[in-house]
A and B are shown apart, each in its own frame.
Chain A
Amino acid sequence: MSDIIDNIMELEEDTQKGRFLTFVLGKETYGIEIKYVTEIIGIQAITEIPELPEYVKGIINLRGKIIPVMDVRLRFRKDPKEYNDRTCVIVIDINDLSIGLIVDSVSEVLSIPEDAIVEPPKNAAFSNRYIKNIGKVGNDVKLLLDCEKLLTENELEDLSEIM
């Protein structure tokens, strides 16, 4: 019995493995592992909270649950862009922490085989904290995000900024 359950669990893991939700931010296409994604919603009224970093836009009400939202554009130090009807909030769930990511638009769910994923170039002058890997799909390149770093690393950085 438990074997069967294990098998099912494995299957589920397998179906999620190597699949990425891709979204567009300016010119680049990014991907996040599908296992983190809870849902995708359209942009909605954001309640601003004072004295937060610029990229944390505020909080939204997701069916009674209150979750913070972060503008990924600002997070990556890109120019802000007016929100339109293509703008989406990707709700991700990392270590029981829900957060919404505001992106320009969501494209598709892609399967990227493991051999098509390469490490980002390592170079001291080249900081790429948030990019875990780079995926090749046809002629395009998808930047695969490290979601955990997106949330945790920045706090460290903020702290050091304060210091």
Chain B
Amino acid sequence: MFFFIREEHPLQTDCSALSDMVLEVVDFIKEEIEKIKNGDQAYGDASPLIARIHDHLSQLRQGKESTLEQHTPAKSEKPVSSMSHELGTSSPCAHTYKAVIRFEEGCEMENIRAYSVIHNLKEKAQEILFYPEDILDNDQCAEVIRRDGFTIILRSNESFEDMHQLLLDTLFLKSLDFEELKGDDAFSFYASANEEDQNDDTHGPAVISSEPERRELSDKGETHLQSSSQQSIVSVNVSKLDKLMDLVGEMVIAEAMVIQNPDLKGLMLDNFQKAAQRLSKITNEIQDMVMSVRMVSLSTTFHKMHRVVRDMCKKLNKDVELRIIGEETEVDKNIIEHISDPLMHLVRNAIDHGIESPEERKLAGKPDSGTVTLEARNSGGDVLVMVRDDGKGLNRDKILQKAMENNLLVKQPSEMTDKEVFNLIFLPGFSTNEKVTEFSGRGVGMDVVTKNIEAIGGSVSVDSTPGKGSMFILKIPLTLAIIDGMTIRVGKASYTLPTIAIKESFRPREEDIITDPDGNEMIMVRGQCYPILRLHRHFKVRDAVTRFSEGIIIMVEQDGFTLCCFADELVGQQQVVVKALPNYIRNFKKAKGLAGCTLLGDGSISLILNIAGLLEV
């Protein structure tokens, strides 16, 4: 059945009802496979589906003949005229071939197989005649093909060998008689025979004019490309990649241990230096390579949304087009796993809450069909994924009203900026949709999105213009495994800050420091006042520098908030491999402000600070 669907699929691409059907069947099959996997019996009854498919097939066929709107080729209707037209306009075709194909016995569905042969040939051939003609709709054709073989006559610019090879690739091929016919005469001969056949109203050869721009063809072409490229791909267990990653990380550390070995201090080692440089170059390359191995493009995740959009449009009677920009953006494998669900949620929200019904859209002077845009792009060490819709946008008043009902407000509504109001929707238990639908409105939405994204060190923000639409921006780190870090020293301990978060560092002057009555320290920089966090106090480090004039201030920024960290000194910038803190430590759940730890060149441990966590302190 699956095979049947696959062969049928290209013909049905432009009929939405039928693609529905196909999707339904695919779902059905998936379900059945799942059942079989679980060891259950596949008891689902597929016959209603099959019946519906047959119904639709015949409907489609009828529709085709009457309207000719589906750009399936004019089949038996006017073979002569279409052919003569083709003969008149088509560029000179170098060769005419005749092929008789016989399929292996017992391969079943010969007619479908024959159709797929024709389908493949369409790419190569200018004109194709084949017999029997109505292979798709008449199951009896299978009998004819089984008995007499499947005859194809085609005209093409391809060489004899190429065409022969193409035909030989046919599945379940038993025998192939392939010959080149001389000149146009032969073709016309068969064509006229076809004409007579038509007059006799028997099954005659049909002409299919080859239109290279046809969507079906390009679809098919793509699948061909994919199947050939898949062969050069090896699927590897992620845990092995993780292990490799760890090992490379250790190698980098070991390399630093060798090169910066204290035993070498003060020695003049020209050759050693050269060799060492070469080693570091190679280890850097290996590290980059291992990183890139783990990178996966977002396209699969994005294309999953097509289905979501389709299903939702059907259910909600909305017309929405999904635009995808920047799908080739790559992010780390384990990040992809985390953003798939939130993304789906956002797309659902955009369609359900954002996009209005076609009538409302008309009133608002917008095109009937709404647009949801999925966009991804790199920005520094992050990837921005944007979900944008051109719907009605967020309603400030409604959000405020809802927030008040649920007691979520912490400020006076009049004092809140639009951005603050919009950010309320990320709070747990919030939904502005009045009625609960299958897709959204249950209020367990946005906070889950935020949680998922924050779990991988990203952030979610929202922007909206009433009437114009809204935009959700997911800011996610490129990778979890390696960051560009600035190592700082506090007392005897060293900490690492993500370099991207650092705005600047400077040695403060005592007179710039302001202390408020609560003992909070602040610093004035270029007319702006920023809070100071003494790292030694926060981490309870002894023997650290406490006088501001002897240490250094590092200004860090995250999500628009700025914090000045006070440390002893900057040690240096380097790429560090992020290692998670041991579970045992994490179980205490107290170590806020720590994102993980890393090993420094001398084997000592440096704690990686989590700026967002520090800001909460």
Contacts and interface: CB of A to CB of B under 8 A. Distances in A.
Interface of A: 45, 47-53, 56, 59-61, 64, 66-68, 97-99, 151, 155, 158
Contacts of A59: 581-582, 585, 597, 605
Contacts of B324: none
Contacts of A155: 587-588
A64 B250 contact: yes
B599 A49 contact: no
Task: Report, as a range, how many residues of chain B touch the other chain.
Answer: 20 to 34
B2 interface: no
Contacts of A60: 605
A47 B249 contact: no
Given A45-B604, A64-B253, A52 B590 contact: yes
Contact of A68 (B253, B582, B594): B582
Given A47-B607, A66-B605, A61 B599 contact: yes
A48 B599 CA distance: 14
A48 B250 CA distance: 22
Given A59-B582, A67-B582, A51 B592 contact: yes
A99 B250 CA distance: 20
B46 interface: no
Interface in B527-569: 538-541
Contacts of B607: 47, 49
B238 interface: no
Contacts of A97: 582-584
A61 B588 contact: no
Contacts of A56: 584-585, 588
Contact of B584 (A47, A50, A151): A151
B394 to A, nearest CB: 38
B533 to A, nearest CB: 13
Interface in B62-82: none
A49 B581 contact: yes
B246 interface: yes
A52 B591 contact: yes
Nearest to A46: B605
24 contacts: A48-B493, A50-B539, A51-B588, A51-B590, A51-B592, A52-B585, A52-B588, A53-B588, A56-B584, A56-B585, A59-B582, A59-B585, A60-B605, A61-B599, A61-B604, A64-B246, A64-B253, A64-B599, A66-B599, A66-B605, A67-B582, A68-B582, A97-B582, A151-B584
Given A47-B605, A47-B607, A66 B591 contact: no
B396 interface: no
Contacts of A64: 246, 249-250, 253, 599
Contacts of B604: 45, 47, 61
Task: Report, nearest first, the 6 A-B pairs whose CB atoms are least far apart.
Answer: A47-B605, A51-B590, A64-B250, A50-B539, A68-B582, A68-B584
B249 A49 contact: no
B402 interface: no
Nearest to B254: A64
Given A49-B581, A61-B605, 12 more contacts: A45-B604, A47-B607, A48-B493, A48-B540, A49-B591, A50-B591, A52-B585, A53-B588, A56-B585, A59-B581, A68-B582, A99-B584
